[in-house]
Structure 1
């Protein structure tokens, strides 16, 4: 019985201990499932990929014609190359067909792509119990695996990155391997000539995928930077960010500033207050937040919070004017900060 752990999959893909049999890539991360199947197929074709016979089937095709999988597995390649059958969307409905091939795949490699399967799932159980079977779990990236993937990608392309690039990317990217790969490919293409990447490059190309554009709005408003506010707002709204979401984030931001300001008024420095927060704000925002704590006093923050709440109520009553009232309110708060 062979049941690989998630952390063992990369090592297996680098050097598979089987060249024929049933290989099952499964898990909740569909992008990683697809990538795992593709990497395995590249390894199985070896040094002669051109002569390999690769057939791709959908599970629905096998459901409608259960014999097709066995026929493809046992068909001799015209060029004598490796026979690989890739099955997408595999489910337990193909277990009966696979049972016929489990002990004698005839030299073929059957690569299955499936969703998140429980240990008791019939398809997973069959593969894990087979001598010529390997089950490859594909779970969302952890912080550690994502950081490793980012570093390895840039190293492979000879791209030098600033110290905060990896941290910034980790905050932007989620846990879907397909999206992560797409974003990293975008960045490597962008840096193909210069061979360097800065945090500004990452924000320019990828910030729309995360909350960084909203942070830019909050810090421009609280810091009194009207031009930066205009740019950040245009970027967010053109990307279909809901004005109500922006108002909600502004409510939280100014409520936090007011809460932190109480500690400043009690004798702590802004830096001490920020250093004591858990979780701590990203280091790239530390200076902006420190400046805002110095600019705003409690009475001004109370006025700002009240104005945001009123704008939220107005925009809900008149949704067609939500963007206009949002812009007007944030610019007014920005001017309040600039006047201090």
Structure 2
């Protein structure tokens, strides 16, 4: 059962019918796939981390043990009620696709535990995918494709997130902000959340276009771009030299923090593009990386995982505020962050 229109997709994710016992969510926008999968999972079971009622599998699990998927779909809940079998399926192997399709077909026909909900989160399945074909056609299975967000989708997501944090943008500021956001949902959401932190959650403040520029900033000069590249690459000496050269050219600590953030956004965009299956070199070009720096950006993108990147967003905002408000020399505040990033990069093996 193919769901296409936004209202029917959102309605299903909020309240899945009991006669639908499986769902395929797929697409090259992995951030959107994961977000929708998480939303649906929360409607199936009270606790998505409950080890008794939730089973999370990967394509590697079923590749190593052909019977594992059917065993999980057959198992009964130890605590009673519904079970959730969640498959993270990002393999391109045709044999695995057929295996998943066979299990999905049998489950939709009622051959396994009908109280088990089968959720498949997959990559960009082609039109020849057996799993996708079955999900599109079977009434007991929902099929949801995830495409890159359009401008209107990004604006709606931004407004909803800002409203939850009790902050807002004026219409002009929203137009500017939306135009600067990437269309990959995971990266876009991170930037929206970073903006919320910048404004101040719960402050009920509305930023206008002029105030938004303090968040967006202007493009930093070449010396700052180079210093940020060196810092994320664990080259502490060159990063410090580039930073001080930029300061001598008249750049400020705030400019230096913005350069780090611009570099971080490029790394996230590269990671998002590669996760979609896009060629690494094409991913760097899509992120606006100068061709001579492609190899270094790819090296960094492989090393800096979300676990290490996520804390940096808040640190950058705190450093930006410190540069503007503490009365301490902003150049030293920014330099400390650069050196900290270079040290972390070294520990990552860069």
Residue 101 of structure 1 corresponds to which residue in structure 2? 107
Deviations 1:194-237, CA, capped at 9 Å, x for gaps: 222424665445x3xxxx633x769xxxxxxx999734864566
* Other-structure match for 2:218: 213
Q: Tell me how far apart the structure 2 counterparts of residues 133 and 68 of structure 1 sit (CA, whole Å).
A: 21
1:125 paired residue number: 133
C-alpha contact 2:148 2:183 (8 A) present in aligned 1? yes
Q: Which residue of 2 aligns with 1:324?
A: none
Partner of 1:192: 201
CA distance in 2, matches of 1:136, 1:217: 43
In 2, distance between residues paired with 1:97 and 1:5? 24
Asked if residue 147 in structure 1 is aligned to residue 159 in structure 2, the reply is: no
Asked if residue 110 in structure 1 is aligned to residue 115 in structure 2, the reply is: no
Distance 1:236 1:145, change over 3 A: closer
| Aligned-partner Cα distance in 1 for 2:147–2:139 | 24
Between the aligned partners of 1:101 and 1:40, the Cα distance in structure 2 is 18
Contact 1:165 1:197 in 2 (8 A): no
1:134-168 CA-to-partner distances (Å, cap 9, x unmatched) read 10111111011111111122223322333333112
Displacement of 1:84 in angstroms is 0.3
Over residues 285-304 of structure 1, what are the superposed CA-to-partner deviations in whole Å (9 max), with x where a residue is unaligned? xxxxxxxxxxxxxxxxxxxx
Show structure 1 runs of 4+ deviating over 4 A: 46-52, 199-205, 226-229, 232-241
Structure 1 pair 64/163, CA: closer, same or farther in 2 (3 Å)? Answer: same
Q: Aligned equivalents of 2:103 and 2:33: distance in 1?
A: 22
In the other structure, the counterpart of 1:75 is 75
- The answer as to whether partners of 1:67 and 1:97 remain within 8 angstroms in 2 is no
- Residues 237-266 of structure 1 deviation map (CA, whole Å, 9 limit, x = unaligned): 65559xx96xxxxxxxxxxxxxxxxxxxxx
Residue number in structure 1 paired with 2:180: 172
Structure 1, residues 277-335: CA drift from partner, whole Å, max 9, x if none? xxxxxxxxxxxxxxxxxxxxxxxxxxxxxxxxxxxxxxxxxxxxxxxxxxxxxxxxxxx
Compute the displacement of 1:34 (Å).
0.5
Aligned to 1:332: none
- Write the distance in 1 (CA, Å) between the matches of 2:128 and 2:85: 25
> TM-score, normalized by length of structure 2?
0.57
Aligned length: 229
The answer to whether the 8 Å contact 1:3/1:135 transfers is yes
Q: For 1:227 and 1:200, locate their aligned partners in 2 and report how far apart those are by CA, in whole Å.
A: 27
In 1, the alpha carbon distance for the partners of 2:173 and 2:52 equals 40
Residue 74 of structure 1, CA deviation: 1.6
- Structure 1 residue runs without a partner (length 5+): 219-225, 246-340
Moved more, 75-84 or 180-189: 180-189
Shift in Å, 1:62? 0.7
Q: Give the SS at the match of 1:85.
A: strand
What is the DSSP-based 3-state SS (H/G/I as helix, E as strand, rest coil) of the residue aligned with 1:24? strand
Task: Give SS of 1:213's match.
Answer: coil
Partner of 2:251: 230
| Residue 42 to residue 19, structure 1, CA distance change in 2 (3 Å) | farther
Q: Which has the larger radius of gyration?
A: 1
- Give the gaps of 5 or more residues in structure 2: 92-96, 223-246, 267-288, 291-350
Distance 1:19 1:31, change over 3 A: farther
Secondary structure of 2:12's aligned partner: helix
Q: Does 1:55 align with 2:63?
A: no
Q: Distance in 2 between matches of 1:110 and 1:48?
A: 13
Distance 1:110 1:37, change over 3 A: same
Give the Å deviation of 1:9: 1.8
Go from structure 1 to structure 2 and tell me whether the alpha carbon gap of 1:186 and 1:113 turns closer, same or farther (over 3 Å shift).
Answer: same
Q: Secondary structure at the match of 1:174?
A: coil
Deviation at 1:48, TM superposition (A): 10
**Quick check: 1:26–1:33 contact (8 Å CA) kept in 2?**
yes
Shift of 1:19: 6.0
